[in-house]
Amino acid sequence: MAQSLSLTDADRDRVSQAVARAEEASAGEIVTILADSSDPYADVALVWSVVAALLALSALALAPDFYLALVDRVLGRWEPQWHPRQILALAALVAALKFTGMWLLQLWRPLRLLLVPAPLKHARVRARAITCFKVGAERRTHGSTGILIYLSLAEHRAEIVADEAIAAKVQPEVWGAAMHAMLAEIRAGRIGEGLAVAVDKVGVVLAEHFPRSANDRNELPDRLIEV
């Protein structure tokens, strides 16, 4: 995916127009959400910081003579013996420095995201998409025909979540073509086009299973929601 992605007013208009166009042919209500990130992953940063501290303590425990001699040379100590209290104080200092250093390094988001396991990223993005769907679309339409297209930029992942009436008729795999087309455009740096293409493909499926009725009205906003 492109290293730097930005959304323009033209992109926002393109997505809104695609939603309006798709809803003209179906009773479905499409909601689009663009998230900068789905989770801060503070817990993952904490785990890596603890691991760094434990590794430092393990190294000190496995080769105490080497590290104590190294500290003696660095500090210019004349005292040949290390007392237990001094060793414990050194171990605590080393662990604290390693923990703090690793935490500070992960304040740089690209590194923090790199250290997040891919399955966890997927799970967090999916969970955030479902939360957004429950708040913004679930059972908020007549006939439960709402559907969410959710894109999380930091994780380079997208999700499509459908309301119960749609899920009962359309298997999740059907949305694969929309996902593939969207991500292909976004990898090329075209966010607006990607979301609009996904909306178009979702609209085709909705029109097939939920054709628009004469008294259908627009129940959810067409605009792109940015969070």
Q: Tens place of pLDDT for every residue, the chain, 227 residues?
A: 434 467 888 989 999 999 999 988 888 889 999 999 999 999 999 999 999 999 999 998 888 888 788 877 777 776 668 778 888 888 899 999 999 999 999 999 999 999 999 999 999 999 999 999 888 766 666 677 889 999 999 998 999 998 888 988 888 888 988 899 898 888 888 899 999 999 999 999 999 888 887 776 767 778 899 98
Residue 181 token pair: 């087309």
**Looking at the structure, do residues 88 and 159 belong to the same domain, yes or no?**
no
**CA-wise closest residue to 227 among 163, 148, 167:** 148
The percent helix, strand, coil of the chain (3-state, each to 5) is 60, 10, 30
* Long-range pairs for 137-142: beta carbons < 8 A, 24 or more residues apart: 137/29, 137/31, 137/161, 137/163, 137/220, 138/163, 139/163, 139/164, 140/29, 140/219, 140/220, 141/29, 141/219, 141/220, 142/219
Tell me how crowded residue 201 is: count the other CB atoms within 10 A of its CB: 22
Domain assignment of residue 150, given as a range: 9-40+117-226
Does residue 3 lie in a domain region? no
Looking at the structure, tell me whether residues 70 and 122 fall in a common domain.
no
The reported pTM is: 0.82
Write out the two tokens for 76: 């210019």
Instruction: Give the DSSP letter of residue 143.
Output: T
Report helix, strand or coil for 211.
Answer: strand
Structural domain total, the chain: 2
User: At 130, which CATH number?
Assistant: 3.10.310.50
